Amino acid sequence: MNARNAVLYIGGALVLLAVIGAIYLEIIVQSRSTHDVWMVTQDVPAGAHFSTDNIRQVSLPDTGDVLSYYHGNPVTAHQRAGRALHAGHMLADDDLLGQEMVLVPVSFKDAPPLKNGDVIDVYTQFGTRTVQVGKSLMVESPNTIWVPAVDEPSWVTLQANSAPLFAVTSSGIGVPVNSGLGLPDAVSSLAGSVAGGDSGTTIGPPPPVIAVPTPTPTSAPTPTPRASPTR
């Protein structure tokens, strides 16, 4: 082996060792790198305030994955849970309420049993149509719910005018969006669901009405008078 080849061989080996060393060093750095996140220490219902009683900050190894952990301080920022959270959960950005919320009183005309943390949709009767006025709202108590601050005047107006409100506990998944249903619309929609379901029941058009002709009364023949015989 001449001197030139020996230099090339040694240089290539040094470059390879340098690359391997850099990779190994990166692995060591990443394994020792951590970042702080907030962990839920006890079950938190939707709408509840975060405090040092239900969350605490912990350090997690940095795996290099892009995760949307919440990096602020939800306690000092007076943040609320956007949904029900369980102990051991790491707070992400979408676990917090994304807008200003206010607590408003409501009187439901009909609703299932409600408790703190339930998520509901709300409907009202407007003329002859039923209209959805609230979607995925959090319940504080059976008579108070959290609504966006910009909608506060509208909710107060509904309550002040004793508008009939109907609540439904719902995840919101699969619920269609519409501008309101009248009674004929609701009947037609439900009939269509039944017809397209597993029951096999089909609803056809009503049978045609067959007109039965009314018999025309006939008048009795008028007797012809006979001439009396002449005597």
Domain that holds residue 134: 101-188
Percent of the chain residues topping a pLDDT of 90: 27
**C-alpha to C-alpha distances, 120 to 50, 73, 143, 188, nearest whole angstrom:** 22, 28, 13, 25
pLDDT of 79 reads 87
Q: Quick one: 106 exposed, middle or buried, by C-beta within 10 A (0-12, 13-18, 19+)?
A: buried
- For the cut 80, the answer to whether the pLDDT of residue 157 exceeds it is yes
Q: Are residues 28 and 38 in the same domain?
A: no
Q: Extract the tokens encoding 87.
A: 């102990």
Could you tell me if 123 and 166 are in contact, meaning their C-beta atoms sit under 8 angstroms apart?
A: yes
Residues 182 and 108 in one domain: yes
| H/E element, 30 | helix 3-32
| Residue among 165, 181, 150, 180 at smallest CA distance from 120 | 165
Residue range 19-42: average pLDDT?
A: 73
- Same domain for 117 and 56? no
Distance, first Cα to last Cα, the chain: 175
0.95 exceeded by pTM: no
Give the chain's domain count. Answer: 3
CA-angle at 95, arms to 105 and 174, nearest 5°: 75
Instruction: Give the domain-ending residue among 97, 120, 147.
Output: 97
Shared-domain flag, residues 87 and 57: yes
Residue 210 lies in a domain: no
Q: Is residue 193 one of the residues assigned to a domain?
A: no
Residue 99 host element (H or E): none
3 has pLDDT over 60:
yes
Q: What is the pLDDT of residue 172?
A: 74
Residue 77 has pLDDT above 80, yes or no: yes
